């Protein structure tokens, strides 16, 4: 036994030596394993395995190595005498490769080398080895199945390979028992205990962890090798450490991970590139690494005494309210999160109701117009041509309104572009869309800039309303010159107001009856009921989306006033209201305004600010009559067609906006279809 041990030590010293005299024959040129690895699969490079057949079956061979331990082996040599020939056998104690190399030189081959280290050192250095007539090895460190493996790929130790001036561990340090690799080499506890023998400080820290098997004895308790991929080169050499951590934690904590992915941090981890992901809070930023503990334990990073400090690592100035944010909240869990649950029910009901009503409205209207166009083709086309060719233009929107609409539309597209991949973060197109923007940080910047523009536009409109109210304050005074609340209400709900009134509900009824052929088409006034809905939806949306967006933009500030769960509520309503807004604008609003058969392909009124007199009579007959009776019609006529020189520019911009919106609508439909079918 002692003699066998001494021989093993003797061989090991020589196997791992970078230089040595074993198996060296005068006239033979040695070549290192590193140089051989570089020459693999190169043109005119041939590698020859001089091992015995049993050794080849047991140890495997270098990629594409030719077996030459046969009587006719010389016939396997190439015709080109300038080719590079590399011979090897078992180790430095083996002379078969040197003998074969000498014979090759005698045959006239000029570039002949011998890899003295042999197949054993090649395997121990974690280089690729092939085997034939066997099943592939599934795990690079599954040493117990070495002899039955066909394509052994023993990877380099990626965790420790870059250590300098330190005791770099070898295979036996991790897989061995007292330095010897045996049948326990692939035992998980053996490997993990070896990790702790080197990393003593981590061992002390891990002793208090919820993942410590001794403290928390349960099946499948994770240990070192479950979280640290020693042999996974592709992941460990990238910058995606936090992406790896997310995947690792999620492999055990699927439910918690799914709810984490519903937060901004979770979505950003999935959508960010490797470099950006380093800046995003992953599981271990909050829960710790080797010191993960239950929240009710004093040393936990998320205990009552420690969680604010943990949050402050990223969010300077965080307080107790901020730390009360529920990172893994389930808005579908009525029992544990009733507020979020009912908010979710309300928003879902709102979204479904709006799309159900206007979906039916759009479908019936489109069918009616198609029916009219087919049955009364000549009259339909003549009416459309008359409205288009009429040179008498009536002013409908001011220059300020046109500017406001342009920036409102542009900022809305910017918000959609940057927000949709966050809403549909699991969609196949989400990551590509974020990459197109330049990464998740750029997407956030675009979202904030677009939001700022939209807020400015909204504030400018509020100021306009206040200014016009002050300017026309005499219009709500009675005959005595006093402010009259009755006159104010009449003006507020009058025909020139965008506030809904009883006539709008009559118009809705009559319009639906016209859709199905049960009534005449109703005559509308200055603003139709669907236009009023669009307008008031902006106020609702700015309150819901705007306020919730500001809360999410400045969470530390707002949690000085609001409780932490309001961050969860803000995120939920912001997301669902944004979905309602984008879906409505790109489907319903686009149809009502541009894609109706009598408006297709685009209504230019929002760019020109005017419509023809024939169009006014056809679409807003009641307003036309009021204008004519009051004498204001002539005042609104525009004799100077100044828009003509901007027509084509406006048309190009309009079509680009419409096309972009339709692309976004398609992506929304695709994401939902993929979710339902998947």
Q: What is the pLDDT of residues 116-127, one digit of tens each?
A: 989 988 888 778
Question: Mean pLDDT across the chain, nearest whole number?
Answer: 87
Q: Residue 439 above 90 pLDDT?
A: yes
What pLDDT shows up at residue 344?
96
Identify the residue whose tokens are 């897989």.
175
Identify the residue whose tokens are 């280290």.
117
Distance of CA 197 to the CA centre of its chain: 40
Quote the pTM value: 0.76
Mean pLDDT is lowest, of 88-102, 300-314, 529-543, 633-647, for 633-647
The rounded distance, in Å, linking the Cα atoms of 518 and 529 is 20
The per-residue pLDDT for range 48-93, each reduced to its tens digit, is 999 988 888 888 899 989 999 888 888 889 999 999 999 999 888 8
Ranges 23-32, 150-159, 195-204, 424-433, most confident = 424-433
What pLDDT shows up at residue 125?
78
CB 330 within 8 A of CB 263: no
Q: Which residues contact 96 (CB under 8 A, 6 or more apart)?
A: 50, 51, 69, 89
Q: Residue 610 above 80 pLDDT?
A: yes
Which whole number is the average pLDDT over 424-437? 95
Which whole number is the average pLDDT over 285-289? 92
Distance of CA 407 to the CA centre of its chain: 27
Q: Which DSSP letter does residue 180 get?
A: B
Residue predicted with more confidence, 242 or 605 = 605
Identify the residue whose tokens are 């090759």.
104
Distances (CA, A) of 129 to 45, 114, 152: 17, 18, 5
The rounded distance, in Å, linking the Cα atoms of 49 and 66 is 6
Q: Which DSSP letter does residue 47 get?
A: E
Q: Is 678 helix (H, G, I), strand (E, B) or coil?
A: coil
CB 23 within 8 A of CB 92: yes
The per-residue pLDDT for range 480-514, each reduced to its tens digit, is 889 999 999 999 999 999 999 999 999 999 999 99
Share of the chain above pLDDT 70, in %: 88
Q: The tokens of 155 are what?
A: 């990877």
| Residue 86: φ, ψ to 5° | -120, 125
What pLDDT shows up at residue 430?
96
What pLDDT shows up at residue 169?
77
Residue predicted with more confidence, 62 or 148 = 62
Identify the residue whose tokens are 């041990």.
5
Buried b (16+ CB within 10 A) or exposed e, 566-592: bbbbbbbbbbbbbbbbbbbbbbbbbbb
Q: Residue 145 above 80 pLDDT?
A: no
Ranges 113-127, 140-154, 190-204, 432-446, most confident = 432-446
What pLDDT shows up at residue 156?
60
What pLDDT shows up at residue 167?
66
Residue predicted with more confidence, 672 or 152 = 672
CB 56 within 8 A of CB 67: yes
Which whole number is the average pLDDT over 424-432? 95
What pLDDT shows up at residue 644?
83
Q: In 3D, which of 144, 138, 72, 85 has the Cα closest to residue 112?
A: 85
Mean pLDDT is lowest, of 96-105, 224-233, 374-383, 468-477, for 224-233
Report the DSSP beta bridge partners of residue 114: 30, 87
Q: Residue 443 above 50 pLDDT?
A: yes
| Residue 607: φ, ψ to 5° | -90, -40
Which alpha helices (H) appear in 23-64, and where do they start and end?
33-39, 53-59
């Amino acid at each position: 036994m002692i003699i066998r041990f001494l021989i093993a030590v003797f061989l090991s010293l020589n196997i791992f030596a970078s230089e040595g005299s074993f198996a060296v024959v005068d006239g033979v040129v040695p070549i290192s394993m590193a140089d051989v690895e570089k020459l693999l699969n190169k043109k005119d490079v041939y590698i020859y395995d001089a091992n015995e057949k049993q050794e080849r079956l047991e140890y495997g061979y270098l990629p594409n190595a030719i077996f030459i331990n046969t009587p006719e082996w010389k016939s396997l040599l190439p015709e080109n005498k300038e080719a590079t020939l590399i011979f090897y056998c078992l180790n430095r104690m083996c002379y078969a490769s040197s003998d074969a190399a000498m014979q090759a030189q005698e045959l006239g081959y000029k570039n002949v080398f011998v890899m003295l280290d042999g197949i054993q050192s090649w395997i121990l250095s974690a280089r690729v080895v092939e085997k034939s007539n066997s099943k592939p090895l599934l795990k690079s460190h599954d040493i117990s199945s070495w002899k039955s493996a066909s394509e052994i790929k023993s990877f380099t130790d990626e965790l420790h390979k870059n250590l300098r001036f330190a005791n770099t561990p070898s295979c036996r340090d991790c897989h061995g028992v007292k330095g010897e690799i045996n049948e326990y080499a692939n035992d998980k506890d053996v490997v993990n205990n070896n990790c702790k023998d080197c990393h003593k400080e981590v061992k002390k820290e891990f002793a208090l962890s919820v993942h410590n098997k001794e403290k928390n004895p349960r099946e499948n308790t994770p240990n070192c090798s479950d979280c640290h991929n020693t042999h996974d080169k592709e992941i460990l050499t990238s910058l995606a450490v936090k992406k790896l951590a997310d995947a690792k934690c999620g492999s055990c904590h699927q439910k918690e991970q799914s709810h984490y992915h519903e937060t901004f941090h979770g979505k950003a981890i999935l959508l960010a590139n490797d470099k950006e992901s380093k800046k995003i809070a992953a599981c271990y930023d909050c829960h710790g690494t080797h010191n993960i503990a239950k929240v009710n334990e004093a040393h936990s990073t998320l205990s009552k005494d420690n969680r604010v400090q943990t949050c402050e690592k990223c969010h300077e100035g965080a307080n107790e309210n901020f730390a009360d944010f529920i990172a893994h909240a389930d808005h579908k869990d009525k029992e544990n999160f009733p507020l979020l649950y009912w908010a979710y029910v309300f928003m879902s009901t709102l979204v479904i109701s709006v799309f159900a009503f206007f979906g039916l409205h759009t479908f019936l209207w489109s069918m009616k117009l198609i029916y009219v166009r087919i049955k009364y083709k000549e009259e339909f086309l003549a009416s459309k041509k008359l409205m288009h060719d009429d040179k008498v233009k009536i002013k409908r929107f001011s220059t300020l309104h046109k500017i406001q609409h342009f920036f409102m539309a542009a900022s809305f597209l910017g918000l959609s572009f940057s927000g949709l991949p966050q809403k549909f973060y699991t969609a196949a197109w989400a990551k590509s869309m974020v990459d197109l923007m330049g990464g998740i940080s750029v997407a956030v910047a675009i979202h904030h800039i677009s939001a700022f523009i939209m807020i400015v536009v909204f504030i400018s409109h509020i100021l306009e309303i206040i200014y016009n109210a002050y300017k026309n304050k005499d219009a709500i005074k009675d005959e005595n010159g006093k402010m009259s609340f009755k006159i104010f209400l009449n003006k507020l709900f009058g025909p020139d107001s965008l506030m809904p009134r009883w006539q709008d509900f009559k118009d809705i009824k009559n319009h639906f009856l016209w859709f199905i052929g049960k009534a005449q088409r109703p005559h509308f006034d200055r603003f139709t009921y669907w236009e009023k809905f669009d307008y008031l939806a902006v106020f609702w949306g700015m309150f819901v989306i705007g306020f919730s967006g500001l809360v999410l933009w400045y969470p530390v500030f707002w949690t000085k006033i609001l409780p932490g769960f309001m961050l969860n509520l803000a995120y939920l309503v912001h997301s669902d209201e944004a979905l309602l807004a984008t879906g409505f604008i790109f489907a319903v609003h686009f149809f009502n305004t541009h894609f109706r058969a009598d408006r297709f392909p685009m209504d230019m009124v929002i760019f020109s600010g005017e419509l023809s007199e024939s169009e006014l009579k056809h679409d807003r007959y009641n307003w036309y009559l009021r204008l004519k009776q009051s004498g204001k019609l002539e005042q609104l006529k525009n004799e100077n067609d100044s828009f003509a020189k901007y027509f084509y520019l406006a048309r190009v911009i309009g079509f680009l906006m419409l096309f972009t919106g339709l692309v976004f609508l398609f992506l929304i439909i695709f994401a939902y279809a993929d979710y339902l079918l998947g």
